Chain A
C-alpha cells in the first residue's frame, strides 16, 4: 500500500508557564522590549476592562456579557500582528484584538448594554472591521468573502476571522476554510481553543487530536500555538499574515488557551467543570508568564504594574461613565436602519411607534 498524504502539526511556544524562554530564536518584534511592554500593557487593560464589564453586569448596568478572562495573549496577539488595512471578523469575546484596533470600551459596553450604537465603531481601523457575530461561525464566511474581494481587487490585505473550539465544528467554518484553500485566499482563520463551548468540552467537538489539522483537509497551512504565550501567538499570526499577503494562501491557527471565566454572565461554569482544572489553568495564564519574562529582562516591576493598573482603572472609569451617560436611542431608531431609506409602509409603523411613545409619556 502506498501513502496518499501524510501530515504533521507543529506546536509553537516561546514562553512556558513560568515565563522561561524555551527557544532562543526570538522573533524580531520580541527583541524590542519596549514593544513587549506595550503588549503587556494592553493585555492588562483588557483584563481591567473585562473585570469592569462583569461588575457592570452584576449591578444591572449591562446585559449578558461574554468575558475574555484568560484570552489576553491570544486576542492581543491577533490584533497586534494585523496591519491596519487588514479586516477582522470576530465572534463576541475578542476584545483584546479589538481594543488594539481602536474599538473603545464604551462601544463594547453599549453593545452588551442593549444599544446597537456599540457596533458603530468610531475609530479606524476597527471602523472597517466586522461587528460582533453572535451566531456561531457565520463570520468565518464573511472573512472568506472579504479575502476574495481583496484577491479580486489585487489588494495586499488579509481577512482574519476568529472562532472558538466549539464554533470550529460548524459547517460555516469548514466552508470558509474550504473556499479559502480552493481559491488561495488571503485569509487567516484563528481557532481560539479555550477548551469549552459553554458546558461542552473540547473532546466532544471533535475526535481529531488537534483542531489546527482541520485546515489540512482544506489545503491550508496549519499550526497549533500556545495561546497563552503572546510571543508565539504574535509570531504565528505574523507569519500567517505574511504568507497570505504574499499570495501564498490561507492558514488555520489553533491557539490553545483556557476560559478562566464563566462562558457568559448568564452561565455558571461550576455546574460542569471541576475546581482543580480551573486552578491548573490559572497556573498557565498568559499575563503572569509575560510579566515574569519582562521582570527578568529588567523592563517591568511592581511599581510600573501598579501605576499602569491605576491608569487602566481611570481609563475604564471614564469609559463606563461615557457609556452610562448615553441616552437611549429614540424609538424611531429601530426603523431608521432597517433599510437605506424607510419604505412608506414601514414609515407608517414608525409613526405608530412614535404615537405610542407619546401616549406612554
Chain B
C-alpha cells in the first residue's frame, strides 16, 4: 500500500468519491488544468472532465454562491477556497444561505456542500496566505467545521464531509500538507464526524488541539513524558458540532487542561472549550485551564512568523504550570 501525504490523501478522497458518486463536483480557482495551487485536485479534471472539475472565474462570492445553488439542486459540490485568507467574501453565502437553508425551509432545501481551504501559517507565504480563522465559522449554526491533522484523517474525514447532508468547512493545515507520509488505504472508508480523536492516553494533563498543532501537542507530550508527566492528547477534528464528552471525560480524569491553537487568543475556539470545561468540569479541575495560542495580532509576514506560531515548548510550560498550581 502506498504511503501518502496529507495533500495526496485529499486528492485520493476526492477521486474516490467522484468515481463512486456522479453528483460530486469540484469547483474553484485553478482546480482544473493546474490541479490547484497546492495540487490537491491534480489529475481530477483529466479523469472526470471540465464540468465536474470546474475552473471558475476569479470570484470567491461566485464560487460560494454557485456552490449553494449546486447543492440545493441535488449535486454534491466540493468548492476550493485557494487560501483561507481569501475566504471572507465566501462568508456571506456560507453564513446567510448554506448554513441556514435547511432551517429556513424546514428541511425542504438542503446544502450538502463542502468548502475546502488551505489553512494556517508556517510556510513563509505572502500576506493573507497564512490566516487561521476557523473560529469565524464555529460561531455559525448549521455548519460543520472540520480540520484533519494527518493523512489518514484527511482521507476519512473528507469522505465523511462530502457524504454529510449538511454544509462542511474543511480546513486543511497546509503546514503539514507534505510533512510526512502515512499508509492510507483507498477503501472509501469514512471516519466519523462530530467526534474527537484521543491520540495519546495520559493521566496528568489533557492537551486539546486540532489541525497542524497536533504535531506540537504530541511533541509536548513526548517532552512531558521524559519528565514523568503523562499527557493525554486530543485531536478535536470536528470543532463544531463539538464532541465535548470526550474532552470532559479526559479532563475529569486528568484534572488539568491545556488548549492549543494557532488562531488569535481572544474569542478563538479555545475560549469555547475553556468555557465548557469551566461549566461542566469545574469541580474536577485541579488547576486553571491554560490556553496556548497565537497572539491577538495579525500573523506577521514570514520574518517574524515563527515567533507568532505557538510552540511545543509553550505547551510544555503551560502543562507544567497546571501541575505546579495543583
Contact = CB atoms under 8 A, between A and B. Distances in A.
B46 interface: no
A204 B55 contact: yes
Nearest to A60: B124
Given A134-B126, A331-B307, A346-B296, A114 B57 contact: no
B135 interface: no
B232 interface: no
Contacts of A346: 295-297
Contacts of B265: 349
B29 A197 contact: yes
B308 interface: yes
A170 B59 contact: yes
Interface of B is mostly: loop
Contacts of A37: none
Given A63-B124, A200-B29, A334-B295, A170 B58 contact: yes
B85 interface: yes
Interface string A152-173: 0000000000001011011110
Given A114-B302, A328-B304, A329-B304, A169 B58 contact: yes
B37 interface: yes
A113 interface: yes
Given A114-B303, A271-B33, A171 B59 contact: yes
A333 B307 CA distance: 11
A34 interface: no
Contact of A171 (B37, B85, B89): B89
Contacts of A18: none
A112 B303 CA distance: 10
B297 A334 contact: yes
Nearest to A264: B126
Contact of A329 (B32, B125, B297, B303): B303
B55 A134 contact: no
A112 B129 CA distance: 13
A271 B58 CA distance: 19
A283 interface: no
B127 A132 contact: yes
Nearest to A330: B304
A85 to B, nearest CB: 27
B29 A198 contact: yes
Given A63-B126, A345-B296, A136 B33 contact: no
Interface string B5-46: 000000000000000000000000110111101000000000
Contact of A328 (B61, B298, B303): B303
A115 interface: yes
Nearest to B298: A338
A135 interface: yes
A120 to B, nearest CB: 13
Contact of A266 (B37, B298, B308): B37
Given A169-B57, A170-B59, A266-B37, A334 B126 contact: no
Contacts of A272: 33-34
B304 A112 contact: no
Contacts of A334: 295, 297-298, 300, 304, 307-308
Interface string B93-134: 000000000000000000000000000000011111100000
A197 B34 CA distance: 11
Most buried by A among B30, B58, B297, B298: B58
A37 to B, nearest CB: 35
B58 A166 contact: yes
Contacts of B32: 199-200
Contacts of A136: 58, 86
Nearest to B124: A63
Contacts of B62: 169, 171
B57 A64 contact: no
Interface string A58-91: 0000011000000000000000000000000000
Closest 3 CB pairs of A and B: A199-B34, A114-B302, A166-B58
Given A134-B129, A200-B32, A356-B311, 20 more contacts: A63-B302, A111-B127, A114-B302, A116-B301, A136-B86, A164-B58, A170-B60, A170-B61, A171-B89, A198-B29, A199-B30, A200-B30, A200-B57, A204-B55, A205-B57, A328-B304, A334-B308, A338-B296, A338-B297, A356-B314
Interface of A: 63-64, 92, 111-116, 132, 134-136, 164, 166-167, 169-172, 197-200, 204-206, 266-267, 271-272, 328-329, 331, 333-335, 338, 345-346, 349-350, 353, 356-357
21 contacts: A63-B126, A63-B302, A111-B127, A170-B60, A170-B61, A170-B89, A197-B58, A198-B37, A199-B32, A200-B58, A205-B58, A206-B57, A266-B37, A271-B33, A335-B297, A338-B297, A345-B266, A346-B297, A356-B307, A356-B311, A357-B307
